[in-house]
Amino acid sequence: MTAEAQENRASVPSPRAESLLAYLGRLEGLAEVVTQLGLKARLVALPGRLPCLHVVNPQASALAEDVYAGPCQDGQWWFWWSWAERIAADDDLAGAARQISRVLAARA
């Protein structure tokens, strides 16, 4: 993991620090957009863990990833890969969905 990824991961607060509804609302919005691109999406909210959106390419189920939402230190919310790299700002649902779709695309 890169130093930037470690710093970003360290800045993500626990679910108790922010309302779970803030996390879930952002992930639900992203779920709607990624499903319009043909991907499957399922919210995962386990006790004591940040909720995530499990996204799967239905044409190649091995192509799957957990996507998180969380604020940076400046308060701006982002969507994040599981390895703590930013995908897109939370107000760019279409951009985040396109990036996720590209990463999960089956290659010939």
Residue 4 confidence (pLDDT): 52
What amino acid occupies position 84? A
In a domain, residue 108? The reply is no
**pLDDT tens sequence for the chain (108 residues):** 455 544 554 454 455 544 788 899 999 999 999 999 999 999 999 988 889 999 999 999 999 999 999 998 898 999 999 999 999 999 999 999 999 999 999 886
How far CA 98 is from CA of 50, 77, 87, 105, in Å, comes to: 23, 18, 10, 10
pTM over 0.85: no
In a domain, residue 60? The reply is yes
How many domains are contained in the chain?
A: 1
In a domain, residue 83? The reply is yes
Apex 38 CA angle, 105 and 33, nearest 5 = 105
Asked whether 34 and 101 are in contact (CB, 8 A), the reply is yes
From the number of C-beta atoms within 10 Å of its C-beta (0-12, 13-18, 19+), residue 15 rates as middle
In a domain, residue 95? The reply is yes
Structural domain range at position 29: 3-103
